């Protein structure tokens, strides 16, 4: 591991701890606690007993240290709202979120890179301008709005696709083939909500990068040497990937954030769904755990992007101060 | 009593258990035939928190628990709580009162079985009482069991409840507030660990439905217990389809993904009427809403409230409100004017006491005589430099209550009072109301049969009396009403108690709510019991002529 990656690893750990601590403190500073979240119907003496049982009446510092100690031992705590270990809550929620994010991310990357490369190779043409306008519109739409529009049109109005949930209520009674179809039908709307905006985002960056790369001297040289247009563009596309790889790492957290609202709208029991429920119930342990998990995934994304950049550009491994903007002479000088 | 908030149910508690050992019949793959069979899907705007009855306090838990577990005896449709005449045998096949009425011996039905096949025994009853009164758990109903001294086991089938004093509600105390738990599955678990036990999410009960499956965030399923001695449930299965919120739940209903939805709002009525497959079923929910006054100064609770310690001000504000008009405006046909601190369905004689009239002129005169006058012409009265101005706390989660505050604001202004609605997130609302940090608050209670909850919510020592209304005369009348063994005398005491609290006006009694439910037309259901629509769920059935695909699955075990 390069010193650059090592430093990034320590940064990630610090970011995760800071984010979790902030989440813990912010939620404790908000009015109410899990006992008050039980609502008016529960007598005050029952709430008081609950605070005593779970230690919510202790000083904030004591609660924080207890939580931190447990976290360092790998114990994520107990969900007051769901009356089960937080690890069980996450175990149920994380696969559902990944089921949404992974296909959405793959679709975003594949679709975005293809459209962006296609545009970049034709920058300035009428088709490029029309496509850019369309992508800009999609890019500007908030995910939750798009999700609600899709739900309204395809589920409530036309009844073409299921409105909510991961599977139908009678999923357990379906044949294997029907189950697969049922899952896919439930995936369409939420994945489309997340992926549409992802495709637009990747395409915009890929287009800009491709357009810039196509103008570089090595492309002109390759064309002048008689290489076919398709092969030249393929090489240009590979050279234009570096900023898009970086973007992938940066965008991963935004997928996690965006999916929170999409999960809520489509009743998709993933991390975002669990997080929103936990916030309203002042379920401290679940909120903190969701933040730890989210920031871990975010940090991992950044770390992975860094690693991929090093793989894609040897100059970053050999001489960390260098980048694609340095000339060959500068590279040679640094290496010497 | 509990406040009307979606996810809470007051003095209800339910039970839970640990491993599901299926009864063989459920796996036979029977198909719907005759009057039995069918699948009911219920849209639920929140996930249950637990299926362990003692620690459950959420409305969304109650229906599932009620279907899986049994009480010793079940209250009848009249909700009569005086003695035992309004109750029907359930787990107990009979009971006998001691000569001094300080104990009741319940005989457990010899055929009663837990869903794992073990017989229900008196030891289960004794264990259940220990759980409900344990210091290691935060049990919502514990306060309702204070008159029970202990439960003993006379023999394997006889459990004896011993009481501290005779009251007309003894039988209700022994039966209504506890679902019986299986001690053979739970007794080995430390009391404090029960909420974390597997049983809390995979309960074993004795009801006509048994637990089948709980997929976190998605659904809870129960199926008919075909071996139940009281007869199998008419439906094959009931599935609670969990939604993120009210909006998502109504989407399920109108998209045809659900058959039933409990939380109908006035805005949904039109769409239900336009949906051919749905109908409204009347449900006299035991809920009422009110604007409660704080009798103590929120900044210095040792001092009386500068405005509302004065009965003349409270009565004037009460008379300023056209309750019939605002109820009609906000709730349409889903509400009636509340008569006092109880829904009218529980008030023995609603004509035996009189209401404060809607009389703005009288209200102004009362305020004038109390020294509140508009000396600077800005439309708001003052006295000794203080304006007749106050906040109204309202939870953001309740659209109905928010609308009420807007209308109240205008009507108060007409008599020279400035009311400022303060809409708060529900946690903040709950915290501030519990701690007395308010001038007035828009409260709501959902109550249990009988009027015993009145002591908890409105008497001087009641933990739910957050406005700290105190009147020894009212307290005494309530005590007399609750301890009188002669129904006629009890009714007279209640009439006097209601008259006293109406005259004292610790709150403006606003709405006696109705809560009709939306149901698919293929279901045939008995009248819904006001204290819980689900009380007779095992008797719901599907019209054989209207069955749809999901009604024809039968009891075949799902391949999970």
A328 pLDDT more than 60: no
First to last CA, chain A: 22
**CB under 8 Å to B58, separation ≥6 — which residues?**
B7, B8, B9, B46, B48, B49
Number of helices (H) and strands (E), helices first, in chain B?
14, 25
pLDDT in tens, B84-112: 999 999 999 999 999 999 999 999 999 99
Q: Given B255, B430, B558, which is nearest A156 (Cβ)?
A: B255
A316 pLDDT more than 80: no
What pLDDT, on a 0 to 100 scale, did the predictor assign at position A330? Answer: 55
Q: Concatenated DSSP letters for A307-322?
A: HHHHHH-HHHHH-TT-
| Percent of chain A clearing pLDDT 90 (strictly above) | 32
Half-sphere exposure of residue A13, counting CA atoms within 13 Å on the CB side? Answer: 6
- CA–CA distance, B125 with B142 (Å, rounded to integer): 15
**CB under 8 Å to A135, separation ≥6 — which residues?**
A115, A199, A200, A203, A204
Q: Which two tokens stand for residue A251?
A: 């965008």
Question: Which residue, among A26, A97, A155, A169, would best test binding to B if mutated, counting the most B CBs under 10 Å from its CB?
Answer: A169
Q: Name the closest residue on chain A to residue B456, using Cα atoms.
A: A43
**DSSP state letter for A155:** I
B17 pLDDT more than 60: no
What pLDDT, on a 0 to 100 scale, did the predictor assign at position A326? Answer: 52
pLDDT band at B33 (very low <50, low <70, confident <90, very high): low
Q: CB contacts < 8 Å between A and B, how many?
A: 170
Q: Given B4, B41, B201, which is nearest A84 (Cβ)?
A: B201
Q: Given B140, B251, B445, which is nearest A42 (Cβ)?
A: B140
pLDDT in tens, B281-312: 998 889 999 999 999 999 999 999 999 999 99
pLDDT in tens, A135-162: 999 999 988 899 999 998 998 788 889 8
Q: Please compute Rg for chain A using Cα positions.
A: 25
- CA–CA distance, A80 with A34 (Å, rounded to integer): 7
Q: Name the closest residue on chain A to residue B464, using Cα atoms.
A: A43
**CB under 8 Å to B322, separation ≥6 — which residues?**
B358, B411
B136 pLDDT more than 80: yes
Alpha carbon separation from B473 to A34, B452, B477 (Å, rounded) = 37, 17, 6
A87-94 contacts, C-beta under 8 A, 24 or more apart: A87/A289, A88/B216, A89/A274, A89/A286, A89/A289, A89/B216, A90/A271, A90/A274, A90/A289, A90/A290, A90/A293, A92/A269, A92/B216, A92/B217, A93/A269, A93/A270, A93/A271, A93/A273, A93/A274, A93/B216, A93/B217, A94/A270, A94/A271, A94/A293
> Mean pLDDT lowest for which of A237-251, B28-42, B114-128, B175-189?
B28-42
Q: What is the 3-state secondary structure of B323-347?
A: HHHHHHHHHHHHEEECCCCCCHHHC
**Which residues in chain A are contacts of B464 at CB distance < 8 A?**
43-44
Closest to B532 measured CA to CA, from B546, B519, B515: B515
pLDDT band at B60 (very low <50, low <70, confident <90, very high): confident
Which class for B460: exposed (0-12), middle (13-18), buried (19 or more C-beta within 10 A)?
middle
Contact A267 B41 (CB under 8 A): no
pLDDT in tens, B407-444: 999 999 999 999 999 999 888 898 899 889 999 999 99
What pLDDT, on a 0 to 100 scale, did the predictor assign at position B370? Answer: 95
B66 pLDDT more than 60: yes
> Mean pLDDT lowest for which of A12-21, A267-276, B482-491?
A12-21
Closest to B439 measured CA to CA, from B250, B268, B305, B538: B305
What pLDDT, on a 0 to 100 scale, did the predictor assign at position B261? Answer: 96
B6 pLDDT more than 60: no
Q: Name the closest residue on chain B to residue A33, using Cα atoms.
A: B427
- CA–CA distance, A87 with A251 (Å, rounded to integer): 26
**Which residues in chain B are contacts of A85 at CB distance < 8 A?**
196
**Which residues in chain B are contacts of A277 at CB distance < 8 A?**
47, 244
* Rounded average pLDDT over A285-289: 88
Q: Which two tokens stand for residue A272?
A: 């975002």
Strands (E), chain A: 78-79, 84-85
Residue B46 CB: number of other CB atoms within 10 A?
A: 22
B8 pLDDT more than 50: no
Torsion angle, alpha carbons of B347, B353, B354, B355, to 10: -30
pLDDT in tens, B446-499: 888 989 889 989 999 888 899 999 999 999 999 999 999 999 999 999 999 999
**Which residues in chain B are contacts of A263 at CB distance < 8 A?**
244
**Which residues in chain B are contacts of A45 at CB distance < 8 A?**
143, 463
| Percent of chain B clearing pLDDT 70 (strictly above) | 93
Q: Checking DSSP bridges between strand B209-215 and strand B523-524, what pairing results, if any?
A: unpaired
Alpha carbon separation from B318 to B116, B367, B469, B494, B505 (Å, rounded) = 56, 12, 16, 21, 7
* Rounded average pLDDT over A81-85: 87
Contact A167 B425 (CB under 8 A): no
Question: Which residue, among A30, A39, A177, would best test binding to B if mutated, counting the most B CBs under 10 Å from its CB?
Answer: A39
**CB under 8 Å to B265, separation ≥6 — which residues?**
B246, B399, B400
pLDDT band at B22 (very low <50, low <70, confident <90, very high): very low
Q: Given B138, B239, B433, which is nearest A169 (Cβ)?
A: B239
pLDDT in tens, B232-263: 999 999 999 999 888 889 988 988 889 999 98
**Which residues in chain B are contacts of A29 at CB distance < 8 A?**
none
Residue B526 CB: number of other CB atoms within 10 A?
A: 12
Contact A41 B143 (CB under 8 A): no
Q: Name the closest residue on chain A to residue B1, using Cα atoms.
A: A41
First to last CA, chain B: 40
**Which residues in chain A are contacts of B192 at CB distance < 8 A?**
53
**H or E segment and range at residue B422:** strand B418-424
**Which residues in chain B are contacts of A90 at CB distance < 8 A?**
none
Contact B427 A30 (CB under 8 A): yes
Q: Concatenated DSSP letters for B31-52?
A: --BTTB--EEEEEESS--S-S-
**DSSP state letter for B377:** S
A14 pLDDT more than 90: no
pLDDT band at A322 (very low <50, low <70, confident <90, very high): low
What pLDDT, on a 0 to 100 scale, did the predictor assign at position B18? Answer: 30
Instruction: Quote the mean pLDDT of chain B.
Output: 90
**Which residues in chain B are contacts of A39 at CB distance < 8 A?**
3, 5, 7-8, 426, 430
Alpha carbon separation from B385 to A285, B31, B306, B375, B540 (Å, rounded) = 49, 77, 12, 10, 63
pLDDT in tens, B329-358: 999 888 999 999 999 989 999 999 999 999
Closest to B54 measured CA to CA, from B131, B148, B120: B131
What pLDDT, on a 0 to 100 scale, did the predictor assign at position B12? Answer: 33
Q: Name the closest residue on chain A to residue B556, using Cα atoms.
A: A173
Residue A44 CB: number of other CB atoms within 10 A?
A: 18
- CA–CA distance, A232 with A237 (Å, rounded to integer): 9
Q: Checking DSSP bridges between strand B287-293 and strand B507-513, what pairing results, if any?
A: antiparallel
Contact A82 B553 (CB under 8 A): no
**Which residues in chain B are contacts of A156 at CB distance < 8 A?**
251, 254-255
Length of chain B counted residue by residue: 560
A237 pLDDT more than 50: yes
What pLDDT, on a 0 to 100 scale, did the predictor assign at position A329? Answer: 55
Q: Read off φ and ψ for residue A59, nearest 5 degrees.
A: -60, 150
Looking up tokens 């599901």 gives B20
Q: Name the closest residue on chain B to residue A274, using Cα atoms.
A: B217
What pLDDT, on a 0 to 100 scale, did the predictor assign at position A47? Answer: 81
Give A181→chain B minimum CA distance, Å.
Answer: 16
pLDDT in tens, A176-223: 999 999 999 999 999 999 999 999 999 999 999 999 888 888 888 888
What pLDDT, on a 0 to 100 scale, did the predictor assign at position B202? Answer: 97
Q: Given A39, A93, A163, which is nearest B430 (Cβ)?
A: A39
pLDDT band at A318 (very low <50, low <70, confident <90, very high): low
Tell me the pTM: 0.83
Three-state DSSP class for residue B362: helix
**H or E segment and range at residue B154:** strand B148-155
B507 pLDDT more than 90: yes
**Which residues in chain A are contacts of B251 at CB distance < 8 A?**
151, 155-156, 163-164
* Rounded average pLDDT over B361-374: 96
Give B222→chain A minimum CA distance, Å.
Answer: 12
- CA–CA distance, A45 with A50 (Å, rounded to integer): 9
- CA–CA distance, B246 with B88 (Å, rounded to integer): 35
Contact B464 A164 (CB under 8 A): no
CA–chain centroid gap for B10, Å, is 5
Contact B248 A31 (CB under 8 A): no
What pLDDT, on a 0 to 100 scale, did the predictor assign at position A96? Answer: 94
Q: Is A227 in contact with A165 (CB distance < 8 Å)?
A: no
Beta-sheet strand order (sheet of B517-520): B209-215, B219-224, B237-242, B39-44, B260-261, B517-520, B278-281
């Amino acid at each position: 591991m390069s010193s650059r990656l090592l430093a990034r690893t320590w940064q990630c750990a610090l970011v995760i701890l800071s984010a979790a601590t902030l989440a813990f403190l912010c939620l404790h500073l908000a009015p109410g606690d899990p006992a008050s979240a039980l609502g008016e119907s529960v007598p005050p003496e029952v709430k008081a007993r609950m605070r005593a049982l779970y230690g919510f009446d202790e000083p904030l510092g004591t609660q924080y240290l207890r939580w931190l100690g447990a976290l360092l031992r790998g114990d994520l705590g107990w969900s007051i709202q769901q009356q089960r270990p937080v690890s069980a809550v996450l175990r149920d929620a994380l696969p559902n979120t990944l089921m949404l994010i992974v296909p959405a991310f793959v679709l975003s990357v594949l679709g975005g890179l293809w459209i962006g490369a296609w545009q970049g190779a034709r920058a300035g043409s009428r088709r490029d301008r029309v496509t850019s306008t369309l992508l800009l519109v999609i890019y500007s739409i908030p995910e939750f709005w798009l999700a609600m529009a899709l739900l309204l049109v395809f589920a409530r109005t036309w009844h073409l696709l299921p409105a909510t949930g991961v599977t139908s209520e009678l999923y357990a009674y379906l044949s294997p083939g029907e189950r697969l179809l049922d899952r896919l039908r439930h995936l369409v709307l939420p994945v489309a909500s997340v992926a549409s905006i992802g495709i637009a985002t990747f395409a915009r960056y890929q287009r800009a990068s491709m357009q810039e790369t196509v103008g570089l001297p090595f492309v002109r040289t390759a064309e002048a040497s008689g290489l076919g247009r398709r092969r030249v563009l393929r090489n240009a596309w590979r050279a234009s990937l570096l900023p898009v790889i970086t973007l992938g790492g940066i965008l991963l957290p935004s997928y996690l954030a965006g999916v929170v609202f999409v999960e809520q709208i489509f009743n998709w029991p993933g991390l975002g769904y669990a997080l929103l429920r936990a916030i309203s119930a002042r379920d401290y342990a679940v909120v903190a755990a969701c933040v730890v998990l989210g920031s871990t995934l975010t940090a991992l994304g950044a770390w992975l992007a860094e690693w991929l950049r090093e793989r894609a550009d040897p100059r970053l491994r050999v001489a960390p101060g260098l980048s694609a903007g340095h000339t060959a002479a500068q590279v040679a000088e640094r290496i010497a | 009593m509990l406040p009307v908030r979606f996810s809470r149910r007051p003095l209800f508690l339910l039970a839970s258990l640990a491993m599901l050992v299926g009864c063989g019949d459920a796996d036979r793959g029977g198909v719907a035939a005759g009057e039995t069979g069918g699948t009911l899907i219920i849209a639920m705007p929140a996930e249950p928190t637990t299926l362990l009855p003692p620690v459950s306090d959420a409305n969304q838990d109650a229906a599932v628990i009620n279907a899986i577990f049994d009480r010793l005896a079940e209250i009848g449709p009249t909700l009569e709580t005086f003695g035992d005449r309004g109750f029907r045998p359930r787990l107990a096949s009979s009971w006998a009162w001691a000569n001094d009425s300080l104990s009741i011996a319940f005989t457990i039905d010899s055929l009663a079985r837990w869903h794992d096949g073990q017989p229900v025994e008196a030891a289960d009853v004794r264990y259940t009482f220990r759980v409900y009164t344990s210091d290691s758990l935060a049990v919502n109903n514990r306060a309702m069991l204070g008159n029970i001294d202990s439960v003993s086991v006379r023999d394997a089938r006889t459990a004896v409840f011993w009481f501290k004093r005779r009251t007309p509600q003894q039988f209700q105390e022994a039966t209504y507030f506890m679902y019986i738990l299986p001690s053979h599955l739970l007794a080995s678990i430390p009391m404090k660990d029960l909420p974390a036990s597997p049983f809390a999410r995979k309960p074993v009960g004795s009801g006509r439905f048994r637990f089948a499956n709980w997929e976190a965030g998605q659904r809870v399923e129960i199926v008919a217990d075909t071996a139940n001695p009281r007869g199998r449930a008419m439906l094959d299965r009931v599935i609670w389809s969990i939604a993120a919120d009210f909006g998502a739940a109504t989407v399920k209903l109108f998209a045809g993904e659900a058959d039933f939805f409990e939380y109908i709002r006035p805005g949904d009525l039109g769409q239900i009427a336009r949906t051919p497959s749905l109908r409204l079923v009347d449900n006299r929910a035991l809920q009422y809403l009110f604007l409660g006054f704080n009798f103590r100064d929120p900044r210095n609770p040792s001092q009386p409230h500068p405005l509302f310690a004065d009965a003349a001000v409270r009565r004037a504000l009460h008379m300023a409100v056209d309750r019939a008009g605002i109820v009609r405006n906000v709730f349409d046909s889903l509400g009636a004017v509340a008569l006092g601190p109880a829904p009218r369905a529980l008030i023995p004689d609603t004509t035996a006491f009189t209401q404060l009239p809607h009389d703005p002129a009288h209200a102004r005169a009362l305020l004038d005589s109390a020294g509140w006058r508009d000396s600077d012409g800005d439309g708001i009265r003052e006295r000794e430099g203080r304006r007749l101005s106050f906040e109204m706390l309202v939870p953001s989660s309740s659209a109905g209550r928010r609308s009420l505050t807007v209308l109240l604001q205008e009507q108060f202004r007409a008599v020279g009072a400035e009311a400022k609605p303060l809409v708060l997130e529900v946690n903040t609302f709950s915290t501030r109301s519990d701690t007395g940090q308010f001038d007035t608050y828009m409260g709501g209670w959902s109550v249990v049969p009988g009027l015993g909850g009145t002591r908890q919510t409105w008497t001087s020592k009641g933990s739910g009396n957050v406005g700290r209304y105190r009147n020894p005369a009212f307290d005494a009348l309530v005590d007399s009403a609750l301890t009188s063994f002669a129904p006629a005398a009890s009714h007279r005491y209640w009439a006097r108690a209601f008259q006293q609290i109406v005259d004292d006006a610790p709150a403006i009694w606003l709405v006696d709510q109705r809560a009709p439910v939306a149901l698919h037309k293929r279901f045939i259901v008995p009248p819904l019991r006001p204290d819980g629509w689900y009380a007779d769920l095992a008797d719901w059935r599907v019209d054989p002529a209207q069955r749809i695909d999901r009604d024809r699955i039968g009891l075949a075990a799902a391949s999970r």
